[in-house]
Amino acid sequence: MKHYSDLEYLRLSKGQKIGYKIGSFFTGIPGAIGHFFKNIGGAIKQGAQAVGNEFKDIGSTFANGDWKTKVSFFIMGFGNIARGQVLRGLMFLLFEVVFIGYMVLAGAHWMAMLPSLGKVGPSSEYNAILDTYTTVYNDNSFKILLYGVLTMFFIIAFIYTWRVNVKQNQIAEKILKSGKKLKSGKDDLKSLVDDQFHKTLLALPLTGILVFTVMPIVFMILVAFTNYDGSHNGYTNNLFTWVGLDNFNTLLSWSAGSGGGQSYSATFGEILAWTLIWAFLATFTNYFLGMGVAMMINKKGIRLKKMWRTILVMTVAIPQFISLLYVSKMFARNGLINLSLMNLGWIKQPLPFWENPMWARVSVIVINIWIGIPFLMLITTGILMNIPADLYESARIDGANAWQQYTKITLPYMLFITGPYLLTSFTGNMNNFNVIYLLTGGAPTNPAASGAAGSVGYTDLLITWLFKITTGADSQYYLASVVGIMVFVVVAFISLVVYNVLPSIKNEEDFQ
Amino acid sequence: MASVKLTGVKKIYDNKVVAVHDFDLDIKDKEFVVFVGPSGCGKSTTLRMIAGLEDISEGTVEIDGEVVNDLQPKDRGIAMVFQNYALYPHMTVYDNIAFSLRLSKVPEDVVFEKVNKAAKILGITEYLTRKPRALSGGQRQRVAIGRAMVRDSKVFLMDEPLSNLDAKLRNQMRAEIILLRKQLDTTFIYVTHDQTEAMTLGDRIVIMKDGYIMQVGTPTEVFEMPKNLFVAGFIGAPQMNFINTKLINEGGKYFVEPFGVRLPVDGEKGEALAKRKVQTRDIVLGVRPEHIRLAKPGAGAISCTLIVNEMMGSEFHLHVETKDGTRLIVRVPTVDLNKAEREELVSGHEMAVTFEGKVMHFFDPESQTNLLV
Amino acid sequence: MNEKRHMGLKSLNRASNTVIYILLIIISIVWLLPFVFIVLQSFRVENTYQVGYVIPQQWGLDNYIRLWTSDFKRWYLNTFIIALASAVLITIIQLCMSYTLSRFRFKLRGPLMRFMLILGMFPGMLTMIILYRVLADLGLTQTNAVPGLILVGVASSGMGYYVSKGFFDTIPKSLDEAARVDGATRFQVLYKIILPLAKPIVIYTILTAFMGPWGDYVFARYVAMGTSAGYNVAVGMYSWLTNDQINNWYTTFCAGGVIVALPVTILFLCLQKYYVEGVTGGAVKG
C-alpha cells in the first residue's frame, strides 16, 4: 500500500481518506504485532542483562565486602545489627527464620508434591472398631497446588529480600566509608511517614491484591493444565494431575464434546463471535444514544434541564439486579408485556422474547440501552459542556450547520477525550456478566452445542459460559480456566491493537 | 542568611535525558542571583534541586557549608515562592501564612505576631480572613511571598513568581521585590525567563541554555560583554542584530565590511582587538539596535529599505531590509528626529544607516564565542 | 429566498425544541415506567403471580408484611453490613493506592501500574473457584458469608484506583511541594492539604463502594452456596424468581425491590453532585 506523507494525505478526497485510514489500519496490524514481539524480545534481552548484572554485583559485594557483609550472606541482617541498625537487622533475621522454619516444616513437602499433585487418592479401609469400611482421605491435589503456589511466592519473596539484604550491606559500607552516619531505627520509622510514605500507603492494598488477585490468577492459570473437575476434585473422589496442553486442544479441536453436536471449536467460535458483536453493539449504541440524550438536554432553550437529568440519573442508583430481573420477567412468555398485549387482543401467541435466538439477542441489546444510557448521559454531559464555546461560534461563522457542527466538532472532540473510556467500556461489556445472566441466563439453549460443557445458549458470552461451566453438572474447572485465559488473550489483543494502531488514543493531546 | 554552593550538579531523568549539565556556582551570602533562560533550559530544575523537590543525580549542593543532597526540603532552611502561587485553597490567607509556623509548633501568639507583621509589610492585612480564591492575582502573589517570608529562611527561592501577572502588575511587583529584598536581607535565588526581570533584579545573572550555563555575571557584564552569540541575543530588547562579515586588520587599524560597506572599528573595541593582535578573519558582527544610526546615503552608509515602523512613544523601532535581504532592527529615539524626518518613515522609504564602531561585538562563526572575552 | 433566510432561525429553533420535548417525555416514560410498575405491583394483594395488568385490583401491604416474616430481613442486614464495611475499607484502600500512584515517583511505579492493567484483563470470575475454596477453609462461607464477602471485596479493591487517581492528578503538585518546603512530612501533606481538597472524590468513592454490594450477585451466590442465612439481597431475591418459586413470590420480589432501591436511590440523589464530578473528572481520563 502506498504511504502518503501528512501533506499528501490532507489533499485526498473524503472517500480516499477513509479508504486510506482503513487500509493503513490493517497494514498497521502486522507492524504492531511485530513491534510487540520485538519489544518482548528486547525486554527479554534487557532482563537477561539485568540478571547478569545482579549476579556480578552480588559477587563483587561478597569479594570486596568486609566480614560483616560476608556473614550477612548467610545470616540475613547480621551486617545491619553489627553496624547498629538493629531494627532493620532484626526484621531481616526474623524473615529468614520464618522462611527456613516454614520450608523445613511444610514448604519442602508441598514443593516435592507439586510435580505430581499427589500420589495416593482416597481409599476404603476396614475399620476394626466400627467393623465397617470407611473412606480414608490421603493426598489433596487442590491443597498441594495451592500451597505449592504459595510456597513459590514465598521463595521468590525470600530471594528478593536476601538480595535487598546484600545490597544494604554494600550501601552501608559505602556510607560508612564516606564518613557519614547510617540511619537509625528511629530514622527508619520516621521515614515511613515521610520520604518512604509510599511504602506505608501501598503495603496494605498491594498485599490484598497479591493474595486475593495475583495468587488466584496464577493458580487458575495452572489449573488450565490439569484435569481438575467435579469428578477429579483432588480429595474426596479422585486426585487431579497435570495434563499438559490437553485442555487447550479440547477447546480448539474439531471433534465434538461428549454429548455430540458440533465441534468444541465451533461452539467456542460462536460464543466468541457473539461476545464481540455484543460488546461492539452494547458499547456504541449506549455511547451514541447517551450522547444524543445529553445533547438534547443540554440544548439551549430546553427547560427543566435538572428534572430531565434527575429522572434518568435516578435509574443509575437502582441496583441492577432489581431492574434487570424485573425487566427480564416483564418480557417473559407469561410476563406483563405478553399478557397485556394478549389481553388487548393485539397478539394471539406470546412474543418469543427469550425463546427465539434472534429475538433474545436483539432484546438484550435493547434492554442494555435502557440500562446504559443514563450513565453515558452523565459522563457525556460534563464533557460536552467542557467543549470550548468558541469552537462552535467560529464554526457557525464559517457556515457549518448543526449536523456539520456535530460531525466536525462535537464528535471528534468526544472521541478524543473518551477514547480510553470506550476501550475499557468495550472490554467491560465483553465481560458484562450481570446484564446477560440476569436477563436471559444465556437462554435460549443452543442445541448444536450440546456436546460442550455447561449448556450453552445463544446469548451466552464467554464470561457467562465460564460461570456455567464451573457451576454445571460436572464442574469442568480446567475448561473454565482455559476459557478464562482465552478471554484474557482476546482482551489483551484488542487493547494492544487499539493502543498501538488507533490514532485517536495516541493523539489524545490534540484537543487539550 | 547563607551562602549556596553548587558543585558539578547534574540532573538526569529516567529516560536518560540530561536536564542540567555540570552546574558550578558559588552564591555569596545575601546575594541576589537570577537564573534566566528560555523554557526548557534547566533553570527551574536547578532551583528545584536546591529546594530538594528534585533528586540531584550527580554533584553536591551546599547551603551554609552543609551538603544538603539527602535532606528533605523542610530541613534545608529554605523558603520558596511558586509560579502558580500554590496557595492552599481550603485555608484562609492567615492560615496559609501561618501553616509553616504551626508545623514547627510555634506558639499561637508568636504566629499571630509574625503573620501580622508580614501582612503589614505586604499590605494584605485586610485580606487575612479571606480564602485565596477571593483574591486577585497580585494579592495571591503577595500571600505566597508572605508565606515564604515568615519562615525566616536562610535562602529565599522564587520560581518565575511574576510570570502569571499582567504587564503592569509585573512592573509594580518587581519594584516591591527589590524593597522586600532590602527588608529581608537574605540570599535570593530567582528564576525567570524574562531578561528585563533578570537585569533589574539580579546582583548576578546566570544565563542558561539546554542545561548548560552560558554566562555568569553582573547585569552590566552580560550586557556589555556577552560571552557568546546566545547571551548576546538573549539579553537586550529588541534583540542584537547579527551579520556575517569580515574583520579586516590593516596594520593595526580594524574595519568591518558589512554589506560591502567598510566601517571602522574604533574606541575600546579597536584597542582591545589590537591588544589581542586579531588577524583578518570571518566573523559574526553583533550590533545592538540602539547602536545603529541613521545616515545620509552615500559612501560609508548601508542603504536599505524600511519595512515596518513600530512607534513605541519614546522611540522608533525600525525594521529595515538591506539590498541582500538581511533584516536589521534600528532603534531611534523620537527626540533625535524632527517632524519632517519622522513623517518620512513609512514602509518602502529608501534610507541608509551606519554602525557605531566602538560598541560592536565580534563573534567566532564556528564556536560562537566572543572574540574579546 | 431572502424571506426564508430571515425568519428561519427562530421558528426552526422552536420546531426542533418541540421535537426534543416530545422525545424527552417519551424517554422519561420509558425509563420510569418499569419502576412505577414495580411499586404498583408491590401493593397488589389479589395474586402473587404475574398478571396482564399493572394497577392492582386490591391494594394492601401484604407483600411488605410477608417480606418481614421471610428471610429477607436477614439478607437485608447482611447486605447492609457488607455495604457499610466496604464503604469504609474500600475507600481507605483506594485512596492510599491512588494518592500514592498520583504523587510519588518511585522506581516500581510504572511496572506496577502496567502489571495491574494486565491483571485487570483477566476475568475476575476466574478467581472465584479458588477464592471460594480458600474462604471455605477459613470457615467464611455459607452462614459466615458476610465477613468472607467483605474480605474478598476489600482485598482486591486497590485495583480500582483509576478514578480517584484521575482526580488527584488534577490537584496541582505545587501544593504538595509548597507544603513540603513549609515543613510538612509526606503524611502531613496528605492529611492537612490533600484530603481536605479531595472531599468530592472521597464521597464518590464511599458512595460507589457502598452501592456496589447491593447489586453484587455472582460471587455472593458462590460464597453463600445455598445457605439462606448467608445470602445478600441479590442472591436471595433471585431465588424467588426461579421457575418453581415465581408463582408465590413475584409480588414480594417487587416489594423487596422497593425496599432495597429506596435508601440507595435517595442517598444517591443527595450525593449526585459528587458522583457526577467523580465519573466525569476521573473515569473518563482513565
For chain A, what percent of residues have pLDDT higher than 90?
23
Which domain does A50 fall in, by range?
Answer: 6-56
Assess if residue C154 is contained within a domain: yes
Domain match, A490 and A414 both: yes
Check which CATH number belongs to the domain holding A364 and give it. 1.10.3720.10
Of all residues in chain B, the one with the smallest CA distance to C106 is: B14
Contact list, C276 vs chain A (CB under 8 Å): 378, 381-382
A457-493: per-residue pLDDT in tens? Answer: 899 999 999 888 888 767 888 888 999 999 999 999 8
Distance between CA atoms of residues B284 and B247, nearest Å: 9
Assess if residue C104 is contained within a domain: yes
If you average pLDDT over residues C142-159, what whole number do you get? 89
Of A211, A244, A277, which residue is a domain's last? A244
Assess if residue C238 is contained within a domain: yes
pLDDT of residue B131: 92
Residue B125 reports pLDDT greater than 60? yes
pLDDT of residue C2: 52
C92-119: b (≥16 Cβ within 10 Å) or e? bbbbbbbbbbbbbeeeeeeebeeebeeb
Domain match, A36 and A162 both: no
Contact list, A338 vs chain C (CB under 8 Å): 52
Q: Cβ separation of A319 and C286 shorter than 8 Å?
A: no
Q: What is the ipTM of this complex?
A: 0.89
Domain match, A94 and A153 both: yes
pLDDT of residue B242: 94
For residue B17, with 0-12 CB atoms within 10 Å meaning exposed, 13-18 middle and 19 or more buried, which class applies? exposed
Assess if residue C249 is contained within a domain: yes
Q: Does A238 touch chain C (CB under 8 A)?
A: no
Which domain does C252 fall in, by range?
Answer: 71-283
- pLDDT one digit per residue (tens) for chain A, 512 residues: 567 777 887 888 878 877 887 777 777 777 777 887 888 899 899 999 989 998 898 888 888 888 888 888 888 888 888 888 888 889 999 999 999 999 999 889 889 888 888 888 777 778 777 778 877 788 888 889 989 999 999 999 999 999 999 888 888 888 888 877 778 888 888 888 888 888 899 999 999 999 899 999 999 999 999 988 888 887 778 888 888 888 888 888 776 555 566 788 888 889 999 999 999 999 999 999 999 999 998 888 888 888 888 888 888 888 888 999 999 988 888 888 888 888 888 888 888 888 889 999 999 999 999 999 998 888 888 888 888 888 888 888 888 888 888 888 888 888 887 887 888 889 899 999 989 998 988 878 887 777 777 788 899 999 999 888 888 767 888 888 999 999 999 999 888 877 766 554 444 444 43
Domain match, A138 and A39 both: no
Domain match, B279 and B216 both: no
Assess if residue C273 is contained within a domain: yes
Check which CATH number belongs to the domain holding C102 and give it. 1.10.3720.10
Grid cell listed for B346: 513609512
Which domain does B77 fall in, by range?
Answer: 30-55+68-234
Q: What are phi and psi of C44, to 5 degrees?
A: -80, 130
Hey, how many other C-beta atoms are within 10 angstroms of the C-beta on A413? 18
Residues of B near C (CB-CB distance < 8 A)? Answer: 51-53, 72-74, 78-80, 82-84, 86-90, 99-100, 103-104, 147, 151
Assess if residue B15 is contained within a domain: no
Percent of residues in chain A assigned helix, strand, coil, to nearest 5: 70, 5, 25
Check which CATH number belongs to the domain holding B86 and give it. 3.40.50.300
Chain C: closest CA distance from residue A11 (Å): 33
Domain match, A76 and A218 both: yes
Assess if residue C24 is contained within a domain: no
B137-147: per-residue pLDDT in tens? Answer: 889 999 999 99
A414-437: b (≥16 Cβ within 10 Å) or e? bebbbbbbbbbbbbebbbbbbbbb
Contact B142, B122 (CB under 8 A): yes
Distance between CA atoms of residues C101 and C204, nearest Å: 18
For chain B, what percent of residues have pLDDT higher than 70?
100
Assess if residue C139 is contained within a domain: yes
Domain match, A226 and A270 both: no
pLDDT of residue A368: 93
Helix (H, G, I), strand (E, B) or coil at B22: strand
Domain match, B147 and B190 both: yes
Domain match, A172 and A274 both: no
Check which CATH number belongs to the domain holding B340 and give it. 2.40.50.140
If you average pLDDT over residues B188-204, what whole number do you get? 93
Assess if residue B7 is contained within a domain: no
Assess if residue A254 is contained within a domain: no
Question: pLDDT grade, residue C83 (50/70/90)?
Answer: very high
Look at chain C and report how many structural domains it folds into.
Answer: 1
For the ranges A124-128, B92-96, B357-361, C200-204, the lowest mean pLDDT is seen at A124-128
If you average pLDDT over residues C184-209, what whole number do you get? 90
Q: Cβ separation of C127 and A342 shorter than 8 Å?
A: no
Assess if residue B16 is contained within a domain: no
Q: Residue A268, Cα to own-chain centre: how many angstroms?
A: 20
Contact list, A330 vs chain C (CB under 8 Å): 34, 37
Contact C186, C169 (CB under 8 A): no
A151-206: per-residue pLDDT in tens? Answer: 999 999 999 999 999 888 888 888 888 877 778 888 888 888 888 888 899 999 99
Assess if residue C208 is contained within a domain: yes
If you average pLDDT over residues C69-86, what whole number do you get? 92
Assess if residue A188 is contained within a domain: yes
Q: Cβ separation of A336 and C215 shorter than 8 Å?
A: no
How much is the mean pLDDT over chain C? Answer: 86
pLDDT of residue C81: 94
Chain C: closest CA distance from residue B124 (Å): 20
**Dihedral sign computed on CA atoms, order A27, A29, A32, A33:** negative
H or E, element range at A60: helix A14-64
Domain match, A42 and A79 both: no
Look at chain B and report how many structural domains it folds into.
Answer: 2
Instruction: Determine which of C129, C190, C258, C264 to mutate to test the interface with A (most A C-beta atoms within 10 Å).
Output: C129
Residue C1 reports pLDDT greater than 50? no
Domain match, A298 and A194 both: no
Of B200, B234, B268, which residue is a domain's last? B234
pLDDT of residue C52: 77
Q: In degrees, to the nearest 5, what angle opens at C-alpha C212 toward C-alphas C207 and C217?
A: 165
Q: Which long-range contacts (CB under 8 A, 24 or more apart) does A332-339 make?
A: A332/C50, A334/C50, A335/C50, A336/C37, A336/C50, A336/C51, A336/C52, A336/C54, A338/C52, A339/C50, A339/C51, A339/C52, A339/C53
Residue C4 reports pLDDT greater than 70? no
DSSP string, chain C: -HHHHHHHHHHHHHHHHHHHHHHHHHHHHHHHHHHHHHHHHHTB-S-SS--S-SS-SSB-SHHHHHHHHSTHHHHHHHHHHHHHHHHHHHHHHHHHHHHHHHH---TTHHHHHHHHHHHTTS-GGGGHHHHHHHHHHHT-SGGGHHHHHHHHHHHTGGGG-HHHHHHHHHS-HHHHHHHHHTT--HHHIIIIIIHHHTHHHHHHHHHHHHHHHHH--HHHHHHHTT-GGG--HHHHHHHHTSTTTHHHHHHHHHHHHHHHHHHHHHHHHHTHHHHHHHIIIIITT-
DSSP-derived pairing of the beta strands B58-63 and B18-27: unpaired
Assess if residue B372 is contained within a domain: no
Instruction: Determine which of B44, B100, B141, B159 to mutate to test the interface with C (most C C-beta atoms within 10 Å).
Output: B100
Instruction: Determine which of A204, A221, A311, A321 to mutate to test the interface with C (most C C-beta atoms within 10 Å).
Output: A321
* 0.90 surpassed by pTM: no
